Amino acid sequence: MQSFAALFSLIYVQELKSAVRQRDVLNPVLASLAATIVAVALNVGIAAAGCGSAGGLEVGPLEAPASLAGTAPDAASAAPDTSKLPQPGDVLIAGGIGSNGQTIGSAQFYSASLGSFVSTPAMGTTRAAHSALMFPAQNVVLLVGGFTGKAKPTGSSIMFHFITQATGRIYHTNKGTFGTYGPVKDKMKSGNSDDDRAFFPAVTLPSSGWGFFPSGLCNGDLRPTAFDYDSGLNMFQQFLPNPVVTTRAFHTATVLTTGPDAGQVLITGGMVDFGGDTTKTAEIFDPTTGISTATANPMNDSRAGQTATLLSDGTVLIAGGATGVGGTWTSLNTAEIYDPTKGTFTCIGGTLGGGGCKPSMQAARWQHTATLLGNGNVLIAGGFDGSASWTLAPFGKGAGDAGTWTPTGTIENTAEVYDPTGQTFTATGPMTAARFGHTATLLTTGTDAGDVLIVGGFGGSNPGAPLNSTELSDPTGGTFTAGPSLKAARAWHTATQIQAPVS
C-alpha cells in the first residue's frame, strides 16, 4: 500500500511540475511549492534502485596524499576580496585529475580582462568527470557528480580506481568562494540510495531554467535515471523513474531550438554497458512529461565520447567519438547532422555501402572539443586518434569501480574547422600541445574576445598525463598561441563561463 501511494504521489507531482514549468515565470511561489512536494515524495522509498548505499560518499581520493583530501578547507568565513571576484565572461576552471593522477578539488578562474588565471578557494570536495552549470539569477555555478579517486597514467595504460558521487557544490560568483552555502541541500537520490554518476552531460532547461543531468556511469552500473536541479531552492529533483530509453555514459545532451521538439533535449550515443559497448541510438527528453522517446531513426554510426554542437540554423553537428564492441574502442573520423524539423540523422559526405558514414573529418578523434565560433563555424580541437581497450568492473560493494584504459594511437595536436554552409572540414592549426579530455570555451569579453580558450587535458606521450598548459585560438580557429599556465595541471575538469547577474 505504501509503495502504491508513493507511486501515486509521484505521478501527481509530475503533473504539478509539468504545469509549473509551463508557467513558472508567472508563479514562482507555485514552483517552489511543487519542488518541496517532489522532495517529500521522493523520500518515501519509491521507484528505481539507487547506485548503492555507499555510492557518492564525500570521501577523499583513494591512495591520495593528505594534501589532496576530499574535504579540502572551505573558505566560508573569509571576507570576499573584490579584486579577485570573477566578472561576466571569465571562465571558472574546477576539479579534474591532477598531475599525480588523483582527483583534485582546487579551482581558479581565467580573467578575460587580465588574460591570466586567478586563484579561488577550493571546492571542498575533490572530483573529476563531473558537470557544471551557471545560474545567473542566483549568481552561482553548480558543480555536480563526477568521481573521487584516481585515473593515473602508468606505463602504457591509465589505471582507474574511483567512487562516483551524488553530491553538488555551489560556487558564488559574487563572493568568489564556495562559502557557507556551498553544499547543495541534498543529493541525487533514488528512494533511499545515492544516485551518483560520472561522465554525463548537463544542460539548462529553457522551460524552467533548471539544470538537467541524464544517465551516466555509476559504481557498478549505468544509471537509468535523470535529475534536474532547482537553483532557487538549491535542490535536486528526480524525474519519473527510469525516464531515459537507454542507459549510457560518455554521451551528449543538446537543447533543441527549432522544430516540433524545440525546448526538448536530444541525447545521443554513449557507452551502454560495463563491457564497453557503444550505441548509435538517440532519444528526445521532454521536460514537461519527464520521459524520453527514441528518435525515429538512430545515428548512422555507433559512437561514444563524441561532441554535439548546436549550429546557428538549429541543426546539431555530431562529430567523431569512438565506436566499440567488447571493450575495444576505435576513434572515428565521421560526422553527421541531426535535423530537428525532420527528426533524422544524415551523414556528412554520404554513407558507406554497408552502412555507416563515410570519413569526412580531417582526423579521427574522441574526447576532443567542438566550439561554435562567432562566424557560425565550429572549431574541433585535439582528441585521441587510435584504438583503446577498456577493462572496468565494480571493485566490491561500496568500493567503487576499477580498471584500465590501454590506448594504441596518438594524442592529437591537430585541429579543424567545420563550415556548415558547404558541410566541409578544413585542417587548421596545429595547436601548441597535443591534448584530450580538455575544455574549450569561446571568450566573449576582453582583448581576446572571439578567441577560444583551450585548457589542460591529458597530453604528452601516450597514454598522456594531465597538463597545466593552455592556448588560445584566433576567432577563425586558424591559428593557436600559448596561453597562461594553470596553477595546477588538470584533465577531465570543468570550464564554466561566468554570466552577468539577472536583475
Task: For residue range 51-95, list pLDDT tens digits in order.
Answer: 643 333 222 222 232 222 333 333 333 454 556 899 999 999 999
pLDDT at 398 over 90: no
- Does any domain span residue 135? yes
The model's pLDDT over 100-121, given as tens digits with 9 standing for 90+, comes to 999 999 999 999 999 999 999 9
pLDDT attached to residue 386: 94
Range ranked top by mean pLDDT from 70-79, 180-189, 381-390, 398-407: 381-390
pLDDT at 10 over 50: no
Taking alpha carbons only, the member of 210, 173, 194, 180 closest to residue 90 is: 173
| Per-residue pLDDT band at 191 (split at 50, 70, 90) | confident
pLDDT attached to residue 474: 98
pLDDT at 31 over 70: no
Structural contact between residues 56 and 97, judged by C-beta atoms closer than 8 angstroms = no
Domain that holds residue 109: 47-497
- Does any domain span residue 160? yes
- In this structure, what is the dihedral angle of CA atoms 41, 210, 303, 366, given to the nearest 10 degrees? -130
- Does any domain span residue 18? no
Range of lowest pLDDT (10-24, 397-411, 427-441):
10-24
pLDDT attached to residue 239: 86
Domain count, the chain: 1
pLDDT attached to residue 43: 33
More confident residue, 401 or 425: 425
- SS (HEC) of 105-169: CCEEEEECCCCEEEEECCCCCCCECCEEEEEHHHCEEEEECCEEEEEEEECCEEEEEEEEECCEE
pLDDT at 484 over 90: yes
Structural contact between residues 267 and 224, judged by C-beta atoms closer than 8 angstroms = no
Mark residue 269 as left, alpha or beta (left: phi above 0; alpha: psi -120 to 50; beta: remaining).
Answer: left
The model's pLDDT over 223-232, given as tens digits with 9 standing for 90+, comes to 999 999 999 9
Alpha-carbon gap, residue 53 to 57, rounded angstroms: 9
pLDDT attached to residue 3: 33
Structural contact between residues 126 and 107, judged by C-beta atoms closer than 8 angstroms = no
More confident residue, 59 or 301: 301
pLDDT attached to residue 38: 31
More confident residue, 448 or 327: 448
pLDDT at 434 over 90: yes
- Does any domain span residue 452? yes
| Per-residue pLDDT band at 245 (split at 50, 70, 90) | very high
Alpha-carbon gap, residue 92 to 90, rounded angstroms: 7
The model's pLDDT over 233-243, given as tens digits with 9 standing for 90+, comes to 999 998 887 79
pLDDT attached to residue 49: 38
Average pLDDT of the residues of the chain = 85
pLDDT attached to residue 471: 98
- Does any domain span residue 366? yes
pLDDT at 288 over 70: yes
The model's pLDDT over 141-184, given as tens digits with 9 standing for 90+, comes to 999 999 999 999 988 899 999 999 999 999 999 999 997 667 89
- Does any domain span residue 24? no
pLDDT attached to residue 76: 36
| Per-residue pLDDT band at 478 (split at 50, 70, 90) | very high
The model's pLDDT over 315-324, given as tens digits with 9 standing for 90+, comes to 999 999 999 9
pLDDT attached to residue 388: 93
Over residues 10-21, the mean pLDDT reads 36
- Does any domain span residue 399? yes
pLDDT attached to residue 274: 85
Indicate which CATH number applies to the domain containing 374.
2.120.10.80
The model's pLDDT over 133-143, given as tens digits with 9 standing for 90+, comes to 999 999 999 99
Burial of 32 (0-12, 13-18, 19+ CB in 10 A): middle
pLDDT at 47 over 60: no
pLDDT attached to residue 275: 86
Q: Are strands 424-428 and 415-419 parallel, antiparallel or unpaired?
A: antiparallel
- Does any domain span residue 2? no
pLDDT at 469 over 50: yes
